[in-house]
Amino acid sequence: MAALMIQGCGSDVGKSVLVAGLCRLFANRGLTVRPFKPQNMSNNAAVTADGGEIGRAQALQAIACRVAPTVDMNPVLLKPQSDVGAQLVVRGQMAGTWKARGYQERKAALLGTVIESFRKLEAESDLVIVEGAGSPAEINLRANDIANMGFAIAADVPVVLVGDIDRGHVIAALVGAHAVLNNEDRAMIRGFLINKFRGDPSLFQDGRAEIVRRTGWPDLGMAPWLAAARRLPAEDAVVLDRAIAADGRKVRIVVPMLSRIANFDEFDALRSEPEVEFAFVPPGTALPGDADLVILPGTKATLADLAFLHAQGWDIDLAAHVRRGGRVLGVCGGYQMLGRRVSDPDGIEGAPESAEGLGLLDVETVMTGDKTLRPVTGRLAGGARFVGYEMHVGRTTGAVSPMLTFDDGVTDGAVSADGRVQGCYVHGLFDRAEARTALLAELGAASDGLDQAIRVDQALDEIAAMLEQSFDVPALAALAGLEFSR
């Protein structure tokens, strides 16, 4: 079976986008393609149709392949809950909470699960494109590795190494990786790619030749800065400082950057709206007094981020915002914070504890051991249809006026008596144009009426076209075991 693995010289070198672009490129050529990432670490996750969760990047890559995401596309997912611990998700389901050191010692036991998922994808496709994690040059993590060379060798999948020229020192990054890898790992790398180049490509010809000379790896191409990638859902919080110009905007929407913010890509559609000035508010910065809507986002650790919110003084800013007549929307963990109380008697998120909420909604939440993971459809209170997903622990009770009604008749969320504060468990409310139009109308703004899925699909096609021009596609196909013409 045909497979190719894309590894990088570090995190955020563009592996996820390149894999998505290559998935769409080969799918556009008529191949049945599947994405795969053995191990991911992210709090930006997606729900699969069979009730599991995987990294957001693999869900995007499934879209690029024009198939529904499955849990086998990302069999091991780590969702950080603290600086030293993370929730472990195996084949879409919670499998406990692990400290970083303990996980490093035990992860080798997951290699069989990883290989099994990979083989399932292999059997149903013409080509599997695999994404690594971090960098194989982090040789201190090589023992028991399942994310990079440990997987590549176990599954016998050839590797292409990506260097990011935008961050600088790309020659040193690629040549340095060659220098520190052991002979067996080094032999798995069959070529390199340069990513995020700005300007005249001819200016780096000598640099690419030097990498070939020092490593012996074939040069498989250089991608330009892919502007269309800004329209794709991001997986890493490093992108949250992107500013949106305010010229001609009618309403201002802000989201405080909680320390464990999760699923923040659900706000991408708002960022694209021509009448919306959108911003993430970083720690150490007050919530702006002229905001029309403050959205409390999802979080991987509700109680910890409730304390973080108080430490930033954002609770005081929110109270003042509400007094001025501003609107507030809480999503998932943000919804839980808006209530009277959040309790975790069994220590689901950490040590057992309880804390007063913000008191803006007449609800209370108790954390529970079971996790709700499911796609949902329904209507907002005003009748507009939405499509989204639930991904949460905890049960919230006390709502009198629900925000949403699912198609099965079950209600979700709460709305304050004056209608200015509302919250729900559903992620993705802004992706469909109908629901987004209704929510923006409450603020006095119009929507462009475009489904977010259309924006993403167009961006994937643009990226695939750029990679077709920039990479040696026949050579990449040949490395994967395919015969492919230009």
Q: Which residues carry out catalysis? A: 332, 427
Helix H or strand E segment including 437: helix 433-441
- Residue 437 to residues 276, 387, 445, Cα–Cα distance (Å): 12, 14, 8
The Cα–Cα gap between 262 and 42 comes to 8
Helix H or strand E segment including 314: helix 314-323
Provide the β-strand partners of residue 75: none
> 230, 237, 274, 216: which is closest to 445 by C-alpha?
274
> 2, 11, 22: which is closest to 164 by C-alpha?
11
The Cα–Cα gap between 116 and 120 comes to 6
In terms of DSSP bridges, do strands 421-424 and 414-415 run parallel, antiparallel, or are they unpaired?
antiparallel
Provide the β-strand partners of residue 24: none
Q: Are 152 and 160 in contact (CB under 8 A)?
A: no
453: which DSSP letter?
H
- Residue 58 to residues 115, 138, 350, 366, 367, Cα–Cα distance (Å): 17, 23, 28, 31, 28
The Cα–Cα gap between 442 and 461 comes to 34
DSSP per-residue codes, 224-261: E--GGGGGSPP-SGGGGG-----TT--EEEEEE--TTE
Sign of CA dihedral 110, 113, 116, 121: negative
